[in-house]
Amino acid sequence: MSGVHQQSQETKHGILTSRAAIASVSVALFLLLLKAYAAAQTGSVALLGSLADTAFDVLASLMTLFAVRYAAKPADDKHRFGHGKAEAVGAMFQVMLITVSAILIAWRAIARLGAGEQIEGPEYGIGVSLIAIAATLALLVYQRHILRRTGSVAIRADHLHYQSDLLLNLAVIAAIGLDSLLGFTGADPVFGFAIALWLLYGAARSGRMALDQLLDREWPKEKRDRLLSVIQRHPSMQGVHDIRTRTSGMHDFVQFHVWFDPDMPLGRVHAIMDEVEAEVAREFPAAEVIIHPEPEDQIKDHEKDP
């Protein structure tokens, strides 16, 4: 791939992911206003939990917008490996906010359960939740379209988050229906508490993914094994060892050692490494590959393990 074509692809990727992030921000802001009105009218704890989740959706979507734009910046003199870890830093900020919100919602749900209060104006909560489901489904369809064209890790994470929002809105409808329409007065705070637990689960999962990137965790075994199989397709790549992998934002980094016949001309060694890098790039388009060649007669036994 020529440098000009690659730059064009990166620019197109940045435009598409930015559009998807802007769509997420727009939907989240719209739903935030609707749910704030409905929560004020109903007093529902479950709806309050959904409102809090939507408020953090706004922050999450803004962070995603910032992350995909900042992470797409090319490497410079001060950031030789690019800016991809900005996504992980933003995610950790979101995790802290979501954790605090979930604790406050759980406390409110417990207090409401003891007070035995009832929801007022349930039609507002149900109506807003139905609108939220429709808007979220439309956003998910658009995000899936962008994912097919870009494969963006940041947009994929946002897509998964909004899929969970569908469950939250369905839970709100169930809570309000059971509480107000069927007379199960404890349903709303119970669902509110369940939503708080769901938020904590999501925060823990997001925090783990962010830490994996910040701490340069190795790729999952399945992905790493697939990488090794791609490398070893080349007949000159049977002496591969010391493979190291990590992910930073939308970019993957791979480095490994491989031994060659010490009598092989340097030009041929370089050509082989170019061929292998091209094979890896076809299978892992976001990967940057560094290969360290070594003369076979200097390889120690303990180094002959990938």
pLDDT higher than threshold 80 for residue 226: yes
Q: Does one domain contain both 230 and 110?
A: no
pLDDT for res 5: 44
Q: Does one domain contain both 81 and 98?
A: yes
pLDDT higher than threshold 70 for residue 61: yes
Nearest CA among 38, 54, 52 for reference residue 180:
38
pLDDT for res 139: 92
pLDDT for res 300: 57
pLDDT higher than threshold 50 for residue 14: yes
- Cα separation, 276 vs 283, whole angstroms: 11
Report whether 266 contacts 248 (CB < 8 A): no
Instruction: Determine the structural domain holding residue 25 and report its residue range.
Output: 3-214
At 252-297, the pLDDT tens digits run: 889 999 888 888 898 998 999 999 888 898 888 778 898 888 887 6
At 123-157, the pLDDT tens digits run: 777 888 888 889 989 999 998 998 888 767 667 76
pLDDT for res 298: 66
| 249 Rama sector, left if φ>0, alpha if ψ -120 to 50, beta otherwise | left
pLDDT for res 116: 56
Identify the H or E element spanning 255: strand 251-260
Nearest CA among 131, 145, 169, 155 for reference residue 22:
155
Among 214, 241, 259, the domain boundary falls at 214
Q: Does one domain contain both 143 and 227?
A: no
At 72-111, the pLDDT tens digits run: 777 778 877 777 777 777 777 767 777 877 787 788 778 7
pLDDT band at 15 (very low <50, low <70, confident <90, very high): confident
pLDDT higher than threshold 90 for residue 240: no
Report whether 158 contacts 24 (CB < 8 A): yes
pLDDT for res 241: 85
Domain at 182, CATH number = 1.20.1510.10
Q: Does one domain contain both 55 and 110?
A: yes
Which of 56-70, 162-176, 218-232 reaches the highest mean pLDDT? 218-232
Report whether 202 contacts 243 (CB < 8 A): no
Q: What is the pTM of this model?
A: 0.65
Q: Does one domain contain both 267 and 119?
A: no
pLDDT higher than threshold 70 for residue 27: yes
Chain CA centroid to CA 101, Å: 20
pLDDT higher than threshold 90 for residue 201: no
pLDDT higher than threshold 70 for residue 195: yes
pLDDT band at 18 (very low <50, low <70, confident <90, very high): confident
Q: Does one domain contain both 156 and 228?
A: no
- How many domains does the chain divide into? 2
**Mean pLDDT of all residues in the chain?**
78
Beta bridge partners of 256: 291
Among 166, 187, 214, the domain boundary falls at 214
Q: Does one domain contain both 43 and 165?
A: yes
Q: Does one domain contain both 189 and 237?
A: no
Across the range 174-200, mean pLDDT stands at: 75
Domain at 260, CATH number = 3.30.70.1350
Q: Does one domain contain both 72 and 133?
A: yes
Q: Does one domain contain both 180 and 264?
A: no
Q: Does one domain contain both 176 and 277?
A: no
Among 214, 229, 244, the domain boundary falls at 214
Report whether 175 contacts 50 (CB < 8 A): no
- Cα separation, 59 vs 90, whole angstroms: 10
Angle between helix 153-176 and helix 122-150 axes, rounded to 10 deg: 160
Q: Does one domain contain both 206 and 230?
A: no
pLDDT for res 127: 82
